[in-house]
């Protein structure tokens, strides 16, 4: 098992999950909202979630300690470590302990956010990869971006047919 | 489910042939030969795929050497699916709210000035 915390920038590897948004805000502002803990606590987790604690040391190997409180009042902790910080282009992080996913929190992966300057708008591209969590040989060429975006119906149908 | 096990399953599922095999098995147990039929590949190659699926816990095979029908193990597959769905849901929700929050940062209104938004957590280190 690979346990290194450095990200091998092998661009031939496919992302697992890709989420994109175009925000009506300049890139620097989006970067600020993504990396300033005072802002992150205001959107992380989405509607109904609050962030009693959000501490971010935004530099490579810096820690991101986050405590979320869900709508039902339950709290859970998400500890991540930043792998790459390239202001205002790219932020990469993964689970700090690489262990079990926190109950109710986001599952663990290597997550890369890329911000593309579109003038007064910003394209947010978020990719979740598993290449540092699994055996290299097994994890390369994962077709999950494709699978999730185009093959989701198929897998869902498959699951429903069970 | 721990990350390593999940990663092994995700990797096993990454191959279109293997997903095809699983889809076939969703119709019922099948022998290697039946599973190989739709593909232009040798039985050995298909067996290799089956081995990957088996070690990921996505299928099981009968014990008797002569008759070893493959059987889909639904539960781990559902785990993977729920993991992917959870991830998407969590971030879809977050990113939607980020969009709304960015609006408040750009166009602060007297009712909801950005500075008055809740949650001012501690900052161990100011951003450079």
Q: What does the pLDDT average to over A16-40?
A: 91
Chain B interface includes A161 (CB < 8 A): yes
Q: How do residues A82-140 score in pLDDT, each as one tens digit?
A: 999 999 999 999 878 654 444 444 455 788 999 999 999 999 998 877 543 332 333 33
**Chain A residues lying within 8 Å of B128, measured CB to CB:** 58-59
Phi, psi (rounded to 5 degrees) for A147: -60, -40
- b (16+ CB within 10 A) / e for B38-74: eeeeeeeebeebbebbbebbbbebeeeeeeebbebbb
Nearest to B88 by CA among A76, A101, A141, A127: A127
Of A50, A124, A148, the CB nearest to B118: A50
Contact A58 B127 (CB under 8 A): yes
Stretches in chain B below the pLDDT threshold 50 = 113, 116, 120, 122, 126-128
Q: How many residues does chain A have?
A: 162
Torsion-angle region of B79 (φ positive above 0: left; ψ -120 to 50: alpha; else: beta): alpha
Nearest to A127 by CA among A142, B81, A137: A142
pLDDT given at position A3: 23
Model-wide pTM > 0.90: no
**Chain B residues lying within 8 Å of A37, measured CB to CB:** 121, 123
Q: Distance between CA atoms of B57 and B62, rounded to whole angstroms?
A: 14
To the nearest whole Å, the CA of A105 is away from the closest chain B CA by: 8
pLDDT given at position A94: 84
pLDDT classification of A4: cutoffs 50, 70, 90: very low
To the nearest whole Å, the CA of A125 is away from the closest chain B CA by: 11
Contact A147 B13 (CB under 8 A): yes
Contact A139 B102 (CB under 8 A): no
Contact B7 A138 (CB under 8 A): yes
Mean pLDDT of chain A: 71
Of A45, A56, A107, the CB nearest to B94: A45
Q: Distance between CA atoms of A113 and A92, rounded to whole angstroms?
A: 6
């Amino acid at each position: 098992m690979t346990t290194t915390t450095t990200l091998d920038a092998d661009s031939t590897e496919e992302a697992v999950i890709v989420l994109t948004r175009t925000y009506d805000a300049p890139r620097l502002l989006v970067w600020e909202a993504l990396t300033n803990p005072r802002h992150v606590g205001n959107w992380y987790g989405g509607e109904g979630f609050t962030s009693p604690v959000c501490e971010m040391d935004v530099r490579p190997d810096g820690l991101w300690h986050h405590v979320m409180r869900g709508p039902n009042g339950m709290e859970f902790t998400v500890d991540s470590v930043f792998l790459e910080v390239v202001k205002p282009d790219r932020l990469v992080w993964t689970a700090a302990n690489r262990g079990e996913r926190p109950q109710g929190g986001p599952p663990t992966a290597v997550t890369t956010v890329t911000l593309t300057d579109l003038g007064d708008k910003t394209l947010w591209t978020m990719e979740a990869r598993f290449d540092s969590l699994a055996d290299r040989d097994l994890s390369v060429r994962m077709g999950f971006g494709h699978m999730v975006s185009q093959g989701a119906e198929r897998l869902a149908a498959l699951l429903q047919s069970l | 489910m721990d990350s390593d096990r999940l990663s092994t399953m995700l990797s096993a599922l990454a191959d279109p042939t293997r997903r095809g095999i699983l889809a076939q098995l969703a119709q019922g147990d099948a022998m290697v030969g039946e599973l190989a039929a739709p593909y232009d590949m040798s039985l050995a190659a298909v067996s290799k795929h089956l081995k990957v699926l088996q070690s990921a816990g996505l299928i099981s095979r009968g014990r008797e050497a002569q008759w070893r029908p493959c059987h889909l193990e639904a539960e781990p597959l559902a785990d993977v699916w729920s993991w992917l769905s959870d991830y998407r849901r969590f971030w879809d929700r977050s990113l939607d709210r980020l969009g709304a929050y960015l609006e408040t940062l750009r166009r602060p209104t007297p009712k909801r000035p950005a500075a008055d938004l809740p949650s001012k957590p501690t900052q161990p280190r100011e951003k450079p």
